[in-house]
Structure 1
Amino acid sequence: MKIARLAIANIRNGKSAALSQLVLIFIAALLLTTGMTVIGQIGSFFDRKTDQLRDPHAVMIIEEAQFKPEYEQFVRSYPGVSSAEAEPILLLNGTNFLFNHSNMSIGTVILNAEKERSLSPLNLIETSKTATAEDIYLSYSFKVSGGYQLGDSFTFHYKEKDYRFRVAGFFETTMMGSQSMGSFKFYLADASYRNLADSLGESSGGRLLSATLGDRYEGAELLSDFKRAFPEMDTPNNSDYTWQIDVGTVKSTSTMTVNIVAMLLIAFASVIVLVCLIVIKFRVSNSIKDGMRNIGILQAIGYTNGQILFAFVLQFAGIAFVGSVAGVAASHAAMPFFGSVISSLSGLRWSGSFDLAVQFGSLFLVVALVLAVTLQSSLRIRKLAPVAALRGGIATHSFRRNYFPLERSRGGLDYVLALKAMMAGRKHNAMIALIMAAVTFGSIFSIILYYNVAKDKTAFIHLVGVETSNVLVTANSGENGQRLRESLEKEVGVDKVTVLDLVETRMEGETVYTNLSDDFGRLENNTAYEGRHPKYDNEISISWLIAKKLDKRIGDTIQVEAGGRTYSYLVTGFSQEINNMGQVANLTLTGMRHLIPDYRATSFHVYLEGKSNEPFISDIKEKYGDAIRDVIDVDETLKSQTGTYVSAVFAIMVVVLTSTVLVMALILYLVIQTSILKRKQEFGIQKALGFSALQLMNQIAISFVPVAVAGVFIGCLLGCLCTNPLLALLFSSTGIKSVQFVVNVPVIAAVGAVIVILAYIISLLVSRRVRHLSAYSLIVE
C-alpha cells in the first residue's frame, strides 16, 4: 500500500508531465485499436454482409441473344450449388452519369424492383416517403461517395440519349455496388422498367445468372468450369457482352483498400508508441537524476531499492494503463468516422462489433512495452547506495566542458546563452531530435501519399495498372477494329492510338487477366519493373505474384490456356499492377493468335493533343457510330473513380498531421517545463541582472530550434528516401513490388519549415510561464 502511495505522490509531483504521457498513450491506443479492429473484422464483416443481403457467390451477366437454357441448367446442377436464378435484366454497356462531381463511364445492369427474387433481393436502407413514376434506386456508394441524396435528380446517358430519374432510395449489395466492381446495378419500379425496356429495344436485354454454393469460395471454380463446358463463352473476340465475378474476388477487391488504410493507422500508431517509449525513458532517467536526494532519504528511512523501483514501475505502468483504457474506449466513439471512410471505399455500411481480443491485445501491447522500458530505465536504482544518493548521485568530481564561452563567442548574448543551454542538455536534445524525426517522417509519408493520389495522380494511376490516355474507344467487333484504328489515327488532334485489350486466360491452374498490345513500348504506363514486356509472339511477361505462385523466373517457359488451346511462352519480364489483385500477364497480339488464331484487337486508347475530349468523342460517335461499341472519357472516369481514394487518404493525412502537432506540443511542453524547473536559479539570476521575460522566453525557444531543425531534416530525408520502399511493402499483397511516387522536394521543404516554425511558436508559448515568476521566487523557490 505504501508503494502505491509513493507512486501516486510521484504522479502528483509531476502532474503536467503525467498528463502529457497520458495523452500520448491515449492517441496511440486509439489509432492502434481502430486499425487492429478494422483489419481483424473487415473479412468477417464482408462475409456477414453477403449472408445478410443474401447475395450470390457467383454471378454471370450474358446478353439475351447469347443466352442458352443449357447455361442455367449447368449452374443449377453444378455440385455444391444450393440455389440459382436466371433473371431478365436490362444490360447497358457504357452508360455515363455524374459520380462524385465527375462523369463516370461504366457498365450498368438495371433490374425490376418489384420482381421477387431469392438471391440478392432489394434491401433498401433509405427510401423516399413518396413515390413517382421516375423513381430509381441506387447503391449505397452513390450516397457516401457519389454525392447523391434522396430526391436528387439522377441522369444517365446511353446511346446518345439522356434518361432522367429521381433518387427514391439507396440499397446495399456486395455485388455491383461500387465502382471497383466494373459494373453498377440499379433498380426501377415495374412500370418504369417496362417503359425503359420498350425504349431501348431487344438489343439491351440480358440475363443475370446467379448462384450460391455450400462453400462460398467455390464460386471461382464454378465460373472456370462453366467456361470449359461452354468454350464459346471463353472466346475473347466474342462480340456479345459477358461479365463474370465470384464472391472471393469481390471480397479481395472490396477489402484491399480498407486494409491498406487500417495498416496506415497502425503504422502511425506504432510511431506514436515509439515516441511514448522514448519520453518514458527520458522521464524515468530524469526523475531518478533530479530526485536522487529523495531516493536517498527513502533508502535511509527503510525503503528497499526494489520497493523504490517498483514505485517507479507502478507510476508509469499505471499511467499507461489508464491512457490505454481511455484510448480503447474512445476507439468505439471514433469508429463512426472511420466507418464512413470504410463505407465510401466498400459501398457497405460499416457495423464493426466489440472485439474483446483486439481490445485486450492493444491494451496489453502498450502496457507491456511501457513496463519493459520503465524497468530497463529504472535498473540504476538497484545499484544506488544511500550515501551516493544523498550526495545527488555524485561519487567523484564531475566537470563538464564549457561550450560557447561568453567572452570568446560571437553573436548576441541571448543567442549564445541559448546555444550554451542546448549543449548542456544533449540527452534531452537527442530525444527531441529523435521524436521530431519520427513525427516528421509520419507527416511527410502521409503528404507524399496524398500528393500522388490527389494532385499529381499519374504515378498512382499507373500503380493501379490503368493506361493514362484521354479517350478509350471499343470496337463492336474484331473485324471492325483495325479499320476503326486506322480512321482514328487520321483524326485531327490525335497524337497516337495504342492497342490494349484484356482477356482472361489460365496458367497452370491460375486464372490470369492478360493484357494484349501490338507494341507495349508505345504505352504511357510501363508496368514492367524487371526485364521487359514481350516483343515477339513467343514471349510473355507476368506479374511477380504469378511468378511467385508458379515459381517462375525470367527465362523460364509457362503454359497459357485460352479458347480451348494451350501454348508455351518464354517469360521475358515481371510486371506489377493493383488491378485484378495483381493476377496479370502481358502478351503481344501475334502471341495471342497462337491460342485464338482469328483474334483481333477491339480496345483502342487515343491520346489527344490540342483537342478537348468532349468534342472529339462527339465527332467520332457521329462518324463511326456503327463500328463503335463504347467510348469512354478516360480523364473524367479516372477523376470520378479516384475521388473515393482521395477522401480516404485525406482523412488519414488529417489524422496524422493533427497527431503530429499534438505530439510535438506535448513533448516540447514536457521538456521545456522540466528545463525551467531545473534552471530556475539561472533564470532568476538573469532576471535580476535585467533580462526581460521575453528575452528568457527567446532563449528557451531558440535553444530548441537547432534541435528541431536537425530532427525535421532527418525526418524529411527519411520521408524522401523511405516512403516509396515502405509503400511497396504495404502494397505487396496487391501485386506491387516497386513504387515510384513523385517526391515533391519543394512541398516537403515547405512542410519541414512549417513544422520548425510551429515548434518555435509552441516553445515560446510554453515558455510564457517565466513571465509570471519574480526574480526572487526563481532564485529561492
Structure 2
Amino acid sequence: MAAIWLLCRSRLKNSKTQNLFVSLLILLSTLLVATAAIVMANTGRSFTDMHDKTHGSHQLLLLEKGLHDPQFVHQWWEAQQGVETSRLLRFRALSGITYNGHDAPNLYLYMMNTPEPPLLVDTLVFAQGVQSDAPERGTVWIPTSMANSYGISVGDKISFHTGSGQLQQRVSAVVIDVPFGAPFTNTARIWMNSDDYRDSMTPLPGTDSSMIGLRFDDYSSQAGYWDRFARELGGPFLETKMEFEAISSFYLIINQIIGFIMIVLGLVMMLIALITIGFTLSDAILAHYRTIGVIKSLGLTARGTVLAYVCQYGLLACLGILPGLALSILLSKAILNLSVSSLKTKNEELAVHGIGTAMLVGLFVFVLVVLFAAWQAGRTRSIQPAQAIRYGMSETESRRAAALNEAAASRLEFGRLPVFAVIGLRNLIKNRKVSALMLALTMAASSVLVLGYVLLNSIIHIQQTTAKWGYDSANVAAIVVNKTTFSRSDFERALSADPRIKNASWQGNRTAVVSPEPSGRGKAAGRQPLSLYLSVLDGSYEQMGFGTLSGRNPRQNNEIALGVNVAKTLDKEPGDFVDIYIEGKKQSLLITGVYQSIANASYSARVTIEAARAASPSFNDMDVSLINVKDIEAAEAVASGLDAAFKGSASVVTQKTLLDSVFKEAADILVYPISLLGALFVLVAFIIIYSSCRINMRRESKTYGIYKSIGMTSTRIRMSVALGITALALLGSMLGILVGVYALPLLLENVLAGYGIVELPVILHWAGIPAFASIPVAAAFAGSWASSKAIRTTSPRILTAE
C-alpha cells in the first residue's frame, strides 16, 4: 500500500497544472449539475410553502359584471364544508400610476377596501414595513410584484389615476399577495384604508365590484362543489374565475426553464469532464509507459497499478466536488432569489430546499469519476514490462501508430500544402481523440451561447411573434377601466375621425364551461367540466393578427377555435364539434382551429360576437378596443392622443408598451443564469484546450525542436498549431449553431407545453448568432496560443534533447 500511495503522490506532484485543470473541471461539472438539482427541487416548493403559509386560494371569483348576486355567491360558498372562503372583498378597478414623475400605464389595479382581520384566505405576508391590521389613513399596501417591477419601497409616494384626477398615497408596506404577486404580471391589488376607500373610491362613478377567494381542503374535489353550485345558481357561473393553475403558472415557469436548461447542459458538461479524465489518464499511461513496465517488473501487481490511478483521481474528485457543492448552494440561492423574488421578505432569507439532493449529486459524481478512472486505468493490466521498456508502448501500438501516420500523410499529400498548414493538420491528426473532444466541446459551448441569445432575443423582440404567443398583433390597445364613464360611441367617433387609423375591433371575455365527452376518435376525455377563458371578438381575428397552430380562427356564429390545452384535454381537433355553455346556454360549435397561448396556459377559446349573441342577444360587454394604424410610426401618437382624450375611463397604450411591461422582467431574470452557463462552458473550453495542448507540446517537444533548428520561428510554429485548433473549433461552432437554433429549442418545448406553448416562437437574428457562436472559437485560439508559450522560451537544442 505504501508503494501505491508513493506513486499517487508522485503523479499529483509531477503534473500539478494538469491535475489542477482536472479538479477545476470536476468542480464546474458538480457546480452546474448540483445547482440544477437544487433549482429543480425548489421549483414550485417556494410557491407551495408560501401558498400554504398564507392559506392561499385555489380559485378566485371576480364579480365585476353584475351577472350574479355577490352576497348569495359568498353565502353559498361560506356554508360549504371542506371549503375556506375569504371575506367578501370590495374593490374598484383603476389603471395606471405615476411614480417618480413617470407614468406606468399598463398597470391594472384592484383598489381594495381592506376588511377587518383576519382575511382567512390569502393572508398577507409583510415583505417590507411594519405589520398592522390595516393601512393607516393616507397609506396603502402594495404587492411585491409591483414593488419589484417599478422599484417602489416603503415610504415612497404613488399617484393613482382616478379619471377625474390623481389620488396620492404613501406606501406603508409591501406585502406578498399570492394571487396577484407572480413575476411579470400587470395586475395588482392595492390595499387601502377603509376611510380612504370610502372618501376616494366610493364617490367615483359606478359601483363596487366583489372578489371571493376559495381554498379547498381537497382541491381535486372542487368539481363536485361546482356542480352543486350550478344547480343552486340555476346555471353555470358566468363571472371571471381565476384557477389555481393560472395563479401558480407564472411563479413556476422561469424556474422550469432555467432548471431544464441547467440539467441538460450539466449532463453534457459531466460527459465532457469524463471524456477529459479518460484522455488525461490515457496520456498519463502513455507518458509513463516505460515507468509502469519497470515498476511491474519489480513486482507491483496490476491491481496495485490501477489502484494508484484510482487513488489519484479520487483525491482530485474530492478537491473538485466539495467546493463545487458549496458554490452550488450559493449560486442556486442567487438564481432563486431572482426568479422568486416576489415570494421573499426583506428580513427572512429564502429557504433553499434540496441540499440533500445536491449531496447525492456530489456522491454520484465521485463514484462516476472513480469508476471511470478504474475502467481507463485497467489498460495498464495488459502492459508487458519488456515491450514497455523497449518501445515505450506495446509493440502492436508502435506499428499501428507508424502505419497511421504514413497513411495520413499519403492521403492528405502534405507535400502540396503550406508548411504552417501541415503542422496544424498533423497536430490534429496525431491526436484524434483530443481533436474529437475539442470539436464536441466547442460545439456544446456554442450551442449554449446560441440558445441563450436566441431565447433572450425572442423574448426581447416578442412584438414580432405576438400571434405565436397567443396575443393579437394590433398596434394599439384601449382597455376600458371605468365602464360607467366610458362612452363607446364617443370613442368610435374619435377612431373614425382619425385618418391615421386603419381598422379597429372590440374584444370582450366570458367564462365558458365545457362538459368533456368522448371524442369522435373514441377516446374519452376527462370527466370533470372544464372552465375556460372565452375571448369574444366583434371583428376579424385575422385583421387583428391572432394566429393558430392548425386550421383558422372562427368567422361564423357556429365556429370556435380552442387553446391547445383545451383541445388536448377534450381530445378535439379542427373539424370536430364541441358542446360549450356560453352565458348559461349550451351551443354546439364547429372547431375551426387550434392555437397556443401563454396567457391562461391555453385553457381558453375564441368565438365571434355572433356566437355570444346567439346565447344572449343583448351581449355587448366588450372592454378592449384593438386598433391598427396605417403607419406603425404613428402608433405612439395615436395611443397618446386617445389616452389623453379618454383619461380616467380608458387606458390606451401601444402594443410594444403592453408587451415590454410584461416580458422585460422575464428577460431580466433569464439573462443572468444563461450568461453564467455560457461563461462556464467557455471557461471549460479554454481549460481543456489549454491542458490538451500542453500535453501535446510536451509529447512533441522533439519535433518542435527540429522545426526550430531548421529555421522556423517560434511564432510561426505556435501560430500553425493555434490556427489548426481554431479551424477545428470553427467547425464545432458551426455545428453548435445548428444544435442551439434547432435541437435545444425542441427540448425546451417539452417544458413549455404545460404552460400552453407547444411550438416555441423563436426569432433568429443571423447577425448576432455567429458572433455569439464565435466566442468559444476565440477561447480555443487563446487556449492553444497560451499553452505553446514554452516553445518560444526554449532553445532548439534542449527541445531536441528532450
TM-score, scaled to structure 1: 0.88
The answer to whether residue 109 in structure 2 is matched with residue 108 in structure 1 is yes
The answer to whether residue 329 in structure 2 is matched with residue 339 in structure 1 is no
1-structure distance, mates of 2:506, 2:231? 28
How far residue 440 of structure 1 moved from its aligned partner, in angstroms, is 0.8
2-structure distance, mates of 1:568, 1:9? 81
Q: What amino acid is aligned across from residue 29 of structure 2 in structure 1?
A: A
How far residue 565 of structure 1 moved from its aligned partner, in angstroms, is 1.9
Secondary structure in 2 matching 1:125: strand
Secondary structure in 2 matching 1:151: coil
Relative distance call for 1:566 and 1:243 in structure 2 (3 A) is closer
1:279-309 alpha-carbon deviations (Å, 9 max, x no partner)? 1222232223222222222322223333323
1:312: which partner in 2? 309
Secondary structure in 2 matching 1:640: helix
Q: Which stretch has the larger CA shift, 700-709 or 592-601?
A: 592-601
Q: Is the CA contact (8 Å cut-off) linking 1:485 and 1:497 kept in structure 2?
A: no
Q: Is the CA contact (8 Å cut-off) linking 2:161 and 2:167 kept in structure 1?
A: yes
The answer to whether residue 445 in structure 2 is matched with residue 439 in structure 1 is yes
Correspondences of 1:158-177 after superposition (within 5 Å): 158-159=162-163, 161-177=165-181
2:601: which partner in 1? 581
2-structure distance, mates of 1:132, 1:563? 42
1:452-489 alpha-carbon deviations (Å, 9 max, x no partner)? 112x2235644432223232234649x98699657635
Stretches of structure 1 lacking an aligned partner (at least 5 in a row): 236-241
Q: Is the CA contact (8 Å cut-off) linking 1:41 and 1:352 kept in structure 2?
A: no
Relative distance call for 1:105 and 1:273 in structure 2 (3 A) is same
- How much is the aligned-residue C-alpha RMSD, in angstroms? 3.5
2:288: which partner in 1? 291
1:183-202 alpha-carbon deviations (Å, 9 max, x no partner)? 3112334554444235x436
1-structure distance, mates of 2:786, 2:207? 69
How far residue 644 of structure 1 moved from its aligned partner, in angstroms, is 0.9
2-structure distance, mates of 1:274, 1:100? 53
Relative distance call for 1:651 and 1:530 in structure 2 (3 A) is same
1:18: which partner in 2? 19
2:526: which partner in 1? none
1-structure distance, mates of 2:173, 2:790? 58
Q: What amino acid is aligned across from residue 159 of structure 2 in structure 1?
A: T
1:694: which partner in 2? 715
Secondary structure in 2 matching 1:534: coil
Relative distance call for 1:14 and 1:618 in structure 2 (3 A) is closer
1-structure distance, mates of 2:210, 2:414? 92
Give the alignment partner of residue 628 of structure 2, picking from 579, 604, 607. Answer: 607
1:151: which partner in 2? 155
- Identical-residue share of aligned pairs (%): 19
Q: Is the CA contact (8 Å cut-off) linking 2:612 and 2:619 kept in structure 1?
A: yes
Secondary structure in 1 matching 2:395: coil
2:392: which partner in 1? 392
Q: Is the CA contact (8 Å cut-off) linking 2:182 and 2:250 kept in structure 1?
A: no
Q: Which stretch has the larger CA shift, 252-261 or 353-362?
A: 353-362
Give the alignment partner of residue 496 of structure 1, picking from 500, 503, 518. Answer: 503
1:203: which partner in 2? 206
Q: Is the CA contact (8 Å cut-off) linking 2:145 and 2:184 kept in structure 1?
A: no
Secondary structure in 2 matching 1:600: coil
Q: What amino acid is aligned across from residue 629 of structure 2 in structure 1?
A: L
Correspondences of 1:277-426 after superposition (within 5 Å): 277-344=274-341, 351-390=350-389, 391-396=391-396, 397-398=399-400, 399=402, 400-401=405-406, 403=409, 408-411=415-418, 413-426=419-432
How far residue 425 of structure 1 moved from its aligned partner, in angstroms, is 2.2
1-structure distance, mates of 2:429, 2:764? 34
Relative distance call for 1:502 and 1:90 in structure 2 (3 A) is closer
Q: What amino acid is aligned across from residue 351 of structure 1 in structure 2?
A: L
2-structure distance, mates of 1:107, 1:219? 29
Q: What amino acid is aligned across from residue 7 of structure 2 in structure 1?
A: L
Q: Is the CA contact (8 Å cut-off) linking 1:135 and 1:168 kept in structure 2?
A: yes
Q: What amino acid is aligned across from residue 207 of structure 1 in structure 2?
A: S
Relative distance call for 1:247 and 1:754 in structure 2 (3 A) is closer
Relative distance call for 1:205 and 1:539 in structure 2 (3 A) is closer
1:325-369 alpha-carbon deviations (Å, 9 max, x no partner)? 322221222234212311347677872334344123322443344
Give the alignment partner of residue 136 of structure 1, picking from 140, 156, 173. Answer: 140
2-structure distance, mates of 1:689, 1:727? 55
1:559: which partner in 2? 579
2-structure distance, mates of 1:392, 1:41? 53
Q: What amino acid is aligned across from residue 73 of structure 1 in structure 2?
A: Q
1:118: which partner in 2? 119
Q: What amino acid is aligned across from residue 666 of structure 1 in structure 2?
A: I
How far residue 93 of structure 1 moved from its aligned partner, in angstroms, is 4.0
1:238: which partner in 2? none
2:472: which partner in 1? 467
How far residue 76 of structure 1 moved from its aligned partner, in angstroms, is 0.7
1:510-530 alpha-carbon deviations (Å, 9 max, x no partner)? 22223333432223241x222
Give the alignment partner of residue 249 of structure 2, picking from 241, 248, 252. Answer: 252
Relative distance call for 1:98 and 1:765 in structure 2 (3 A) is farther
2-structure distance, mates of 1:146, 1:742? 28
2:520: which partner in 1? none
Q: Which stretch has the larger CA shift, 161-170 or 637-646?
A: 161-170
2:519: which partner in 1? none
Q: What amino acid is aligned across from residue 186 of structure 1 in structure 2?
A: I
1:51: which partner in 2? 52
Relative distance call for 1:389 and 1:92 in structure 2 (3 A) is same
Stretches of structure 2 lacking an aligned partner (at least 5 in a row): 517-528
Q: Is the CA contact (8 Å cut-off) linking 2:383 and 2:394 kept in structure 1?
A: no
Give the alignment partner of residue 524 of structure 1, picking from 513, 528, 545. Answer: 545
Q: Is the CA contact (8 Å cut-off) linking 2:236 and 2:584 kept in structure 1?
A: no
Give the alignment partner of residue 771 of structure 2, picking from 750, 756, 759. Answer: 750
